[in-house]
Amino acid sequence: MRKNVIAGNWKMNKTLSEANQFVEEVAAKAPSNEQVEVIVCAPFPFLASLVEKAKGSSVKIGAQNMHYEDNGAFTGEVSPVMLNDLGVTHVVIGHSERREYFAETSETVNKKTHAAFSHDLTPIVCVGETLEQREANETMNHVESQVRKALEGLSDEQVADTIIAYEPIWAIGTGKTATSDQANEVCTHIRNVIKDVTSNETAEKVIIQYGGSVKPANVDELLAKSDIDGALVGGASLETASFLKLVEAGT
Ligand code: PEP
């Protein structure tokens, strides 16, 4: 039985004091049970402080991106070594906003996924189609090729530990959620692709989240689906009350 992983992606939001207050409150209230894992993916400047605030609780702190090299002349970048050293446990890789605005490619996503495992970080790999791709019936092929490329060269054990977030781009930050059937159809396809890449046994272990305008009003229906094991959440992760409702739904 897979657990639900509820991950907040704050994007470029909050001040340090707001971030600290949020994690203090969520750390105090989040259930520590085996059925749900709670992750807050915050901007780089807040990570060290948030790891401290989350200590002793079930809340994990994640980054929203990283470079794939350990160190070097990459001005402005943050490495997996640095994240691991801070106590960060997860990292979002290949979010559609990074693919669109920061030239992230399937190749860099693959390099970053490998780098995450080299430094004890769990990658949350984002995949998803544009509205044009959906309307042209290209969703399955597009998502399949993103998943295959992201996982290339990983061991079966690493694949089993990868979190995949299926995020249709047309549903991110738009208020338009994929129906639970639409979301599950793609998540099932992703699991079948992983079966093909590895084995049934490995694919059954992989956490596949849905992301795209998840909120308290639609989370139950999404999480009830056979191949949806949690949510990657932007807007509704910014307020403690709504984020805690999503966490509650995952229990
Ligand atoms: C996201 O940032 O990954 C996301 C899904 O955002 P939202 O929940 O706001 O659509």
For residue range 116-146, list pLDDT tens digits in order. Answer: 999 999 999 999 999 999 999 999 999 999 9
**ipTM over 0.90 threshold:** yes
Gap from CA of 72 to ligand 1 centroid (Å): 32
pLDDT in tens, 32-41: 888 999 999 9
Nearest to 49 by CA among 10, 18, 91, 78: 18
Computed on alpha carbons and rounded to an integer, the radius of gyration of the chain in Å comes to 17
Task: Report the residue among 219, 232, 243 best suited for mutation to probe ligand 1: largest number of ligand atoms under 8 A from its CB.
Answer: 232
Nearest to 146 by CA among 133, 156, 161, 155: 133
Residue 195 has pLDDT above 90, yes or no: yes
Contact of 26 with 243, CB cutoff 8 Å: yes
157: which residues sit within 8 A by CB, 6+ positions away? none
Annotated catalytic residues are 95, 167
Gap from CA of 216 to ligand 1 centroid (Å): 13
Q: Binding site membership for substrate: which residues?
A: 9-11, 173, 213, 234-235
Q: Read off the tokens for 28.
A: 């105090």
Q: Read off the tokens for 208.
A: 């596949």
Question: Quick check: helix, strand or coil at residue 243?
Answer: helix
Query: Which residues, judged by CB distance below 6 Å to any ligand atom, belong to the binding site of ligand 1?
Result: 9, 11, 167, 172-173, 211-214, 232-236
Gap from CA of 175 to ligand 1 centroid (Å): 9
